[in-house]
Amino acid sequence: MKVQKSLLTLWIILLPATEYKQKAVFFDRDGVLNYLVKRDGSFYSPQNFEDFQLVAGAKKVIDNVHKMGFLAIVISNQPDISRGKLVQSDLNKMTDLLFEKLNIDDAFYCIHDDDNDTGCRKPAPGLFFTAQKKYNIGFNESFMIGDTWKDVEAAKNVGIPIILIDKDYNQDLKDVSRAKNLLQVVSLIKNEI
Ligand SMILES: [Mg+2]
């Protein structure tokens, strides 16, 4: 009886810990936290560190996300690594800047292209599961902030509510919550929690 009682006590102590989940705001990177680079009339992800410019107000957004109790996690496709257009050392410098200037909690990258993806390239959900495992994240309480159909589909694939940053290049996407800009994301999330 005594053993049973202590086991019950142990179970009660452990139960909240095992059920506890963190919540996160997942940020796509290019076009969301940093500006795209305009070249020949089109917009591209930065291919060298010198072109990596953070979006104005991004730090304020991450600060608010933290105040609301969310982790701030970057989930980003970087196929230019596979394509030989971006070197790993420059990607590392960009990531260092995200930690240093924005105080993000973590960044997860898929460096593959369509022809060599292993399930991490958005819209595939791989990186979300990696982050979930590392931080015990509940997807239902989390949010995804993105700017392309790949972010929308990836979020849908794992059941995370998505907020799309309004851009000229994503006007074809329908039935999705939109923020006029990155700063507006804060009030939209506040309204949802
Ligand atoms: Mg993007």
- Domain carrying residue 73: 21-192
Q: What is the chain's length?
A: 193
Interacting residues of 182 by C-beta distance below 8 A, sequence separation 6+: 32, 33, 55, 57, 58, 61, 145, 165
Confirm whether 72 is domain-assigned. Answer: yes
Q: Are strands 143-146 and 162-165 parallel, antiparallel or unpaired?
A: parallel
**CATH number, domain containing residue 49:** 3.40.50.1000
Confirm whether 180 is domain-assigned. Answer: yes
CB 148 within 8 A of CB 170: yes
- Please provide residue 4's backbone torsions phi and psi, each rounded to the nearest 5 degrees: -60, -40
Confirm whether 109 is domain-assigned. Answer: yes
Q: How many domains does the chain have?
A: 1
Confirm whether 3 is domain-assigned. Answer: no
CB 125 within 8 A of CB 77: no
Residue 103: both structure tokens together: 């105080």
Confirm whether 8 is domain-assigned. Answer: no
Residue 3 CA, ligand 1 centroid: distance in Å: 56
Confirm whether 126 is domain-assigned. Answer: yes
Sign of CA dihedral 131, 133, 139, 142: negative
Q: What does pTM read for this prediction?
A: 0.89
Q: Cα(85)–Cα(141) distance, rounded to whole angstroms?
A: 36
Residue 104 CA, ligand 1 centroid: distance in Å: 17
Residue 182 DSSP one-character state: T
Residue 31 CA, ligand 1 centroid: distance in Å: 5
Confirm whether 9 is domain-assigned. Answer: no
Residue 137 CA, ligand 1 centroid: distance in Å: 22
pLDDT by residue, tens only, the chain of 193 residues: 455 556 556 555 555 554 548 999 999 999 999 999 998 888 999 999 999 999 999 999 999 999 999 999 999 999 999 999 999 999 999 999 999 999 999 999 999 998 888 899 999 999 999 999 999 999 999 999 999 999 999 999 999 999 999 999 999 999 999 999 999 999 999 999 8
Cα within 13 Å of Cα(20), Cβ side:
6
- Could you tell me which of 118, 40, 135, 20 has the C-alpha nearest to residue 77? 118
Confirm whether 116 is domain-assigned. Answer: yes
Residue 44 CA, ligand 1 centroid: distance in Å: 9
Q: Cα(30)–Cα(55) distance, rounded to whole angstroms?
A: 10
Residue 163 CA, ligand 1 centroid: distance in Å: 12
